[in-house]
Amino acid sequence: MAGKPKITKKEIVAGLRALGLGPGSNVIAHTALSSLGEVEGGADTVIDALIEAISPGGTLVMPTFGAASPFDAAASPTNLGAIPEAFRKRPGVRRSRHPLSNVAAFGPRAEHYTQGHEDADCPYLEGTPYWKLAADGGYILLLGCDHDRNTTLHAVEAAADAPYLAPKTASWI
């Protein structure tokens, strides 16, 4: 008995278009290759499909947080999976220089989304890729994962000034 057929780039593009992504879309993608099943060509096929679905004119953004210290935007790996790791290494992809909450971006607005991230007071608020994507009406894509991997929720928490984000002190006297 033959195994399940591999997922193709054409199928991924069709699925993304069915979700409403199209030419000119700006999207932050949170991904999990292992949850997609067997993809013909692996992570690179998923990235190619994402770029094709939003082209021409769209920009693809992915979180690329990592544990490397010191952080080097050009060389530090991400620990967020095979797709973001392959994406950050691609020619033409820009990466923000925030040492903890960095993102990588490809497309006509890549520089806009990544520029100045390290200077923001909070890595998720005004001046950050998250804030800029929201201002542009960008999309949030969860591909093979759910909201527990959705880094844009940190922007919502920060904007709401969630009380659990504030430093806590305790007196033991």
| Mean pLDDT over each residue of the chain, to the nearest integer | 89
CA R_g for the chain = 17
Q: Which of 70-79, 117-126, 132-141 has the lowest mean pLDDT?
A: 117-126
Which residue did the predictor score with more confidence, 112 or 164?
112
Residue 98: per-residue pLDDT: 92
Which residues contact residue 3 at a Cβ distance below 8 angstroms, ignoring those fewer than 6 apart? Answer: 38
Helix then strand then coil, in percent of the chain rounded to 5, is 35, 15, 50
Residues in the chain: 173
CA dist 166 and 168 (Å) reads 6
pTM for this prediction:
0.88
Please report the pLDDT score of residue 22 as a whole number. 97
What's the pLDDT at 148? 73
pLDDT in the model for residue 147? 81
Q: Is the pLDDT of residue 170 over 70?
A: no
Higher pLDDT, 135 or 150: 135
Query: 158 or 18, which is more confident?
Result: 18
pLDDT score for 1: 45
- The Cα 138–Cα 158 span in angstroms is 18
pLDDT in tens, 91-133: 999 999 998 899 999 999 999 999 999 998 888 888 999 999 9
Kindly report, residue by residue over 30-66, the tens digit of the pLDDT. Answer: 999 999 999 999 999 999 999 999 999 999 999 998 7
DSSP 57-94: T-EEEEE-----SS--TTTPPPSS-HHHHHHHTSTT-E
